Structure 1
Amino acid sequence: MAKPILDDELWALIEPLLPPPKPRRSRYPGRKPLDDRGLLTGILFILQTGLRWDLLPREMGCGSGMSCWRRLRDWQAAGVWDRLHEVLLAKLRAADQIDWSRVVVDSSSIRAVGAGPKTGPNPTDRARPGSKHHLITEAQGIPLAVILTGANRNDVTQLHPLVDAIRPIAGKRGRPLSKPRIVQGDRGYDHDKYRRPLHAAGIVTEIARRGEPHGSGLGKTRWVVERTISWLHNFRRLRIRFERLAFIHEAFMKIACCIICWRKLKNSFC
């Protein structure tokens, strides 16, 4: 029997977070709403395979590709994936799987088919349209926040937004985790203008300096964020941006981060 795309345990966490369906009129109720789990299965299938929406197999029982697209749009607008990410991070902390000794930042550029919000000329791809995934992880590579920008945005401009995007991590008694102790990054984040506000907030920065020879030693601990970016791009829909609407691509990014957290959580109990 083939492994299900959406297992029962993960669905049990997602289902309470979904907005309730709109009430149906008694006289002309219209068609019965499609099953949420079936639609989410179709969304995950698109995320993992990279297929076009109109090629979604009807045999999967998840409705049409456009039905899945609309539901993904609505759930993203309702903040479902942000809340799911918070729930999973809290569960990871409760299982002692969050290493708060440092956080690590990095980014990766991808090609964008067509134009749209949060795209720009990619300096690493002959100025073709592209977008950039900015990621911050804890010390083991668990994703804490992800941001989408145009490919022409400098990495350092997203240093503060990434730190600010970390949601409070509960899971244990006491104050939730929110402010990291140390931020690590490569030379792309080396600018004193962006270091000073972090230092003023009591956050230490370990960022390689421009113009100095390689061998800072940060690679021994900073590699985890590069591995997580590789995990993100194992979801084929994230290798190339096909969505003209930025919030649809951002929804896929957040779902992928949630799945990575879920896999880490399941492995912690094996």
Structure 2
Amino acid sequence: MPAVPLFIMDPLWSQFEALIPPVVDEHPLGCHRPRIPDRVVFDKLVQVLVLGASYAKISDTTCSATTIRRRRDEWIGAGIFTALEQLCLEAYDRIVGLELENLCVDGCIVKAPCGGQIAGRSPVDRGKQGTKRSVMTDGAGIPIGVLAAPANRNDSPLLAPTLQKLDRFGDYLPQQITVHLDAGYDSAKTRGLLTALGHDWQISTKGEPLQAGARWVVERTNAWHTRGFKKLLVNTERRATVNDAFIALANAIIMIRRLVREAWTT
């Protein structure tokens, strides 16, 4: 049984395959071992993302762990994961439409037992190593930008680089944007930043009971990340580029799933 349903996996692979650059055979004799098919390696990477297992446990007679890691790094170097996420965003915006008038941003802390570039002392896990994801979604909860940082970083300083992810939309942003934030962003610095960017805001007030608002969708997106993809629940990658690649792949799967769900009722 595939880690992701075939009605999502097949279109995902079709677009991913189109982004893979051609491989130039530079072996002088042309007698090396046959290259493992890209589809086999891609399926293994999806299994690593969804199941959270190590490369060694996912490998078998069809593909070794070394091949999975080597091909993964080749695709990261070619920018395929980022390009795939961008294409899924454009497709969703063209078919359904992104609600960019309302943006929601929130942080999510997960374990990072292996340490690495984006690991730090977690304030919610007795100082153990952790990673924080600053997640930005549109008004419907579609992830449009994710920034990974050590767990000991506060939410407020991560807001500016997270909002910079909007540059991927170029001149297609609406003139008026409202940013919905929780009480962790309740500061004069945050309001000054949003004012400088020309955005409105709705920020929960510190010290008051939990206030309902439109930002619940980003909490749901964090649940999609951590409950649907075990690799994002426990970050075992030491390099930031590899972690970002898995986040981009997870976002692409989420958007394709939402497109299919919207098609049922549209």
Q: TM-score, normalised on structure 2?
A: 0.90
Query: Does the CA-based 8 Å contact 1:42-1:68 persist in structure 2?
Result: yes
The answer to whether 1:214 aligns with 2:213 is no
- 2:253 corresponds to which of 255, 259, 269: 259
- The runs of 5 or more residues in structure 1 that have no matched partner are none
Query: Does the CA-based 8 Å contact 1:243-1:249 persist in structure 2?
Result: yes
**1:137 matched residue in structure 2:** 137
**1:154 matched residue in structure 2:** 154
- Closer, same or farther in 2 for the Cα pair 1:57/1:116, shift >3 Å? closer
Query: How far is 1:245 from its partner?
Result: 2.1
Counterpart CA distance in 1 for 2:193 and 2:8 is 42
**1:33 matched residue in structure 2:** 35
The answer to whether 1:245 aligns with 2:264 is no
1:35-86 deviations in whole A, cap 9, x for unaligned? 1111110000111111111011526x4x112211222222122221211111
**2:216 matched residue in structure 1:** 223
CA RMSD of aligned residues (A): 2.2
- 2:183 corresponds to which of 170, 187, 199: 187
Query: Does the CA-based 8 Å contact 1:88-1:261 persist in structure 2?
Result: yes
- The runs of 5 or more residues in structure 2 that have no matched partner are none
Query: Does the CA-based 8 Å contact 1:168-1:177 persist in structure 2?
Result: no
Counterpart CA distance in 2 for 1:57 and 1:23 is 25
Query: Does the CA-based 8 Å contact 1:86-1:169 persist in structure 2?
Result: no
- Closer, same or farther in 2 for the Cα pair 1:26/1:114, shift >3 Å? closer
- Larger proportion of helix: 2
**1:95 matched residue in structure 2:** 95
Query: How far is 1:27 from its partner?
Result: 2.3
Counterpart CA distance in 2 for 1:233 and 1:81 is 19
- Closer, same or farther in 2 for the Cα pair 1:93/1:32, shift >3 Å? same
Percent of residue pairs bearing the same amino acid type: 29
- Closer, same or farther in 2 for the Cα pair 1:38/1:204, shift >3 Å? same
With 244-253 and 100-109 compared, the bigger mean Cα shift is at 244-253
1:119-170 deviations in whole A, cap 9, x for unaligned? 1111111111111111000001000011111110001111111110134348
The answer to whether 1:268 aligns with 2:262 is yes
- 1:232 corresponds to which of 225, 231, 236: 225
- Closer, same or farther in 2 for the Cα pair 1:233/1:5, shift >3 Å? farther
Query: Does the CA-based 8 Å contact 1:184-1:206 persist in structure 2?
Result: yes
Query: How far is 1:179 from its partner?
Result: 7.2
Counterpart CA distance in 2 for 1:179 and 1:17 is 33
- 1:24 corresponds to which of 26, 30, 50: 26
Counterpart CA distance in 2 for 1:16 and 1:24 is 22
Q: What are the equivalent positions in structure 2 for 1:48-197 lying under 5 Å apart?
A: 48-58=50-60, 61=62, 63-169=63-169, 175-177=171-173, 181-197=177-193
Letter aligned with residue 31 of structure 1:
R
Secondary structure, aligned partner of 1:10: helix
Query: How far is 1:112 from its partner?
Result: 1.2
Query: Does the CA-based 8 Å contact 1:110-1:239 persist in structure 2?
Result: yes
Counterpart CA distance in 2 for 1:22 and 1:6 is 30
